[in-house]
Amino acid sequence: MSTLEDEQYEKHREAGRILAQVRDEAAERVEVGASHLELAEWAEDRIRELGGDPAFPVNISIDEEAAHATPSPDDDATVGEEMVNLDLGVHIDGWLADTAVTVDLSGNAELAEASEEALAAALDVVEAGVSTGEVGAAVEDVIEGYGFNPVVNLTGHGLGHWEQHTSPNIPNRAVSQGATLEAGDVVAIEPFATDGSGKVKEGSDEEIFALEREASVRNRQARQALEQVVDEFKTLPFATRWLGTSRAEMALRRLEQQGVVHGYPVLKEQDGYLVSQKEHTVIVTEGGCEVTTRSR
């Protein structure tokens, strides 16, 4: 392994150390009455305080929501007796860590436990030479053993430089045509369990966006927003509330219409059933894996 690679992996590890701490601290703040906006902003500020940057906006997904839910700039939602999924990311110079945890306030602890145990089983399987289909089979076996279904159209993923989702995909069920994990791969493994049929669909809300391409933009607010995105976030996802320009929502609509940014609609269980999630980032090794986001 070259010195450059050593440095990259150390940045992945540092991102993971920061993220594990913030995830655990944020989970303790999830209680009935807690403000979504205050929780998200607290976690993002805490990441910066500890020396990292958010790799994407803090996701706070409730009940049937599985991903891409983050507070709007004037969000007044508060936590109820619900299933709450926190999904957080950190980067150090573009090298990422990604983690998630379910805090169950809805009385469905077994569903949260199913995704947690599925992740533990997946981590036991991961090593160089193993097919991602085998990892998916381990996830599926555990979740079905609890009497639930894995969410089959969501997957874990590789983590690249300034890229939140790269190959390989890590399925949440057994597949015959999986990729082969290699030593040095950095991957996020994230089982989703549901008491529904096991598929998510796109909702109508969008608060998270990412740069699609750079282009000349005539509208002043849209141009200011684009300059901030290119300078600060590059190709990583960002939230409407992160933009410093006035009329940020209008600016983003213009940029989206021109194909300059793309949005991430909130993903929801297709029939409105609950979803739990648990995620770690790992570095694949010859004999197993190094979990970068484990609590210290």
Sorted by where each starts, the structural domains of the chain and their CATH numbers stand as: 3-202+267-291 (3.90.230.10), 208-266 (1.10.10.10)
Confidence of residue 2 (pLDDT cuts 50, 70, 90): very low
Q: How many CB atoms lie within 10 A of CB 216?
A: 8
Integer Cα distance of 123 and 115 in angstroms: 12
Edge-to-edge strand ranges of the sheet holding 156-160: 163-170, 156-160, 186-189, 280-285, 288-291
**Residue of 63, 190, 206, 269 marked catalytic:** 190
Confidence of residue 24 (pLDDT cuts 50, 70, 90): very high
Helix segments in 146-259, DSSP class H? 220-228, 248-257
> Has residue 245 got a pLDDT over 90?
no
User: Can you give the pLDDT at residue 6?
Assistant: 87
157 is catalytic: yes
> Has residue 173 got a pLDDT over 60?
yes
pTM of the predicted protein model: 0.95
Q: What residues pair up with 83 in beta bridges, in sequence order?
A: 104
190 is catalytic: yes
Edge-to-edge strand ranges of the sheet holding 95-104: 53-62, 83-92, 95-104
271 is catalytic: no
Q: Which residues are annotated as a binding site for substrate?
A: 68, 165
Integer Cα distance of 195 and 272 in angstroms: 10
141 is catalytic: no
182 is catalytic: no
* 94-119 residue pLDDT tens: 999 999 999 999 999 999 999 999 99
Average pLDDT for residues 32-51, to the nearest whole number? 98
Integer Cα distance of 30 and 52 in angstroms: 22
Average pLDDT for residues 168-178, to the nearest whole number? 94
Average pLDDT for residues 246-260, to the nearest whole number? 94
Average pLDDT for residues 156-184, to the nearest whole number? 95
Integer Cα distance of 168 and 108 in angstroms: 32
Are 183 and 286 contacting, i.e. CB atoms less than 8 angstroms apart?
A: yes
CA 71 to chain centre: 15
> Has residue 165 got a pLDDT over 50?
yes
165 is catalytic: yes
**Residue of 110, 127, 161, 165 marked catalytic:** 165
- Mean residue pLDDT of the chain comes to 96
CA 241 to chain centre: 18
User: Can you give the pLDDT at residue 177?
Assistant: 86
**Residue of 12, 36, 91, 157 marked catalytic:** 157
Helix segments in 99-153, DSSP class H? 109-125, 132-145
**Residue of 53, 65, 82, 98 marked catalytic:** 98
Average pLDDT for residues 40-65, to the nearest whole number? 98
* 181-237 residue pLDDT tens: 999 999 999 999 999 999 999 999 999 999 999 999 999 999 999 999 999 999 999
The widest CA-to-CA distance across the chain, in whole angstroms, is 56
Are 248 and 38 contacting, i.e. CB atoms less than 8 angstroms apart?
A: no
**Residue of 63, 64, 87, 104 marked catalytic:** 87
Q: Which residues are annotated as a binding site for a divalent metal cation?
A: 87, 98, 157, 190, 279
Residue with tokens 């991102």: 15
